[in-house]
Amino acid sequence: MNYKIFCCFKDHPTTLTEEEIENPFLVLNPLCGLDGFLKTHDDLWLLITNLFKEYHWMEQEAPLITYSSYNNLIRLLDAAWLLYKIRPDCQIKGNVNSPSFKGLYKKANEDENVFKNETISNSSYVSLHEFFGASFLWGIKNSLYLWCKYGLTPTDGSNDSDEVRNENIINIYRNLDYLIKSLHHICKEEKKQDLLPAEKEKLNRYKIYAITKDHPTTIFDEVMDDPSFSFYMFFKNLNYDAVHQSVNKWHTMLIYNNYWETHSDPGNILSLRLSIEQLIDGAWIIAQNAPEYECELLDKKDKDEAKEAKFDRKNFPHLTDDEFAAPVLAFENFFRFKPLHWWKQHLEQWTRLTLSNVEDGDFYRGTLETPGQLLKLFEASYIFYYS
């Protein structure tokens, strides 16, 4: 399979279920009412306020408020982009195939085949096309991620603050604000929110991106050519000796109430989660092509002293002897334990719970095997890349 269609630098939905891809209005529907519209506007305002007012997130009940605002906007963008892909600038009942906007508009009027209030509706759809015609979906989502993460004051030494400062923040904010208003008009006018058969058929091609299907979401073309590069990125950001501590600490946060009242760096959770997800994506691609990878046994006698110390068996306690000798086997076992899409949804739930400031002992006890499985993956990735 050509995994490059899932490149994180290409436009496609990343947060929707198959049902939501089949009908984007399931996500956009809350914008019909004034309350939903104002809530979405407040979500955007919160993200940009966090950028200019350090530790503003502490004025909220929990960091989860900021993260939820970010997640709501990402889902909204994914659904809006799908609507943009299946609908022309002018909304017309029936099949629309001609690329000529003027011709379509004229024919629609001649046939009296347009929706009521076409002026407002057409204007809103034009705005939708102008937004996505001038912006990459993946780029806008990445900007919102940086806003969310930097607004949650990370202390992990990342350069996100520089990336945010180099962006035209106000321009992005205004464009998103105008998009939200346009979507509000579209949803308010289309009470039934029916999709045409041709539109449903177009949406079918995007079902492969549903969050319930196995596919990478966080890596780019060059990493897909050499998935082990995701291991390099992971261990560049995280010292191997600190990995075990970081994962166990993240898991332990689940049994703490009010954790963020005494800690000021929830943005670090987003960094850790993204690094783990990138490594998992790389390992999954390798596991899908396991026969193509030759895994040599580690013969310590043939290694120099540095290598021998690096691959000291006791430093890899979560691997079986077979997995230690052949790391690809550990990758395959990792995804036999749970499939890729489960891991992504699990990391999402884990992230939300640890940002909620509320203890969740049930989730903690129900996931006692999870840290060990992740550590097995990290150890195998380290050996695979450095051997």
pLDDT band for position 291 (cuts 50, 70, 90) = confident
* Mean pLDDT (the chain, rounded): 85
Rounded distance between C-alpha atoms, residue 262 and residue 379, angstroms: 32
The pLDDT of residue 87 is 87
- 164 versus 180: the higher-pLDDT residue is 180
Is the Cβ–Cβ distance between 98 and 146 less than 8 Å?
no
Is the Cβ–Cβ distance between 340 and 47 less than 8 Å?
no
Residue 213 domain-assigned (yes or no): no
Distant-in-sequence, close-in-space partners of 190: CB < 8 Å, separation ≥ 6? 25, 91, 115, 121
Q: Domain check: are 240 and 365 in the same one?
A: yes
pLDDT per position as a tens digit, 143-155: 999 999 999 998 8
Mean predicted confidence (pLDDT) in 189-197: 80
pLDDT band for position 310 (cuts 50, 70, 90) = low
pLDDT band for position 295 (cuts 50, 70, 90) = very low
The pLDDT of residue 158 is 58
Choose one of 207, 236, 254: the last residue of a domain. Answer: 207
The pLDDT of residue 303 is 45
Question: Does residue 67 carry a pLDDT above 70?
Answer: yes
- The radius of gyration of the chain's CA atoms, rounded to the nearest angstrom, is 24
Q: Domain check: are 199 and 257 in the same one?
A: no
Residue 138 domain-assigned (yes or no): yes
Q: In this structure, what are the phi and psi dihedrals at residue 92, rounded to the nearest 5 degrees?
A: -130, 140
Which of 194, 209, 144 lies closest to 3 in space, CA to CA? Answer: 209
* Domain coverage including residue 190: 3-207
Q: Domain check: are 13 and 126 in the same one?
A: yes
Which of 379, 215, 347, 375 lies closest to 284 in space, CA to CA? Answer: 215
- 293 versus 189: the higher-pLDDT residue is 189
Q: Domain check: are 180 and 323 in the same one?
A: no
The pLDDT of residue 165 is 65
Bridge partner residues of 92 (DSSP): 114
Count of domains for the chain: 2
Percent share of the chain, pLDDT over 70: 83
Q: Domain check: are 193 and 226 in the same one?
A: no
Q: Domain check: are 23 and 155 in the same one?
A: yes
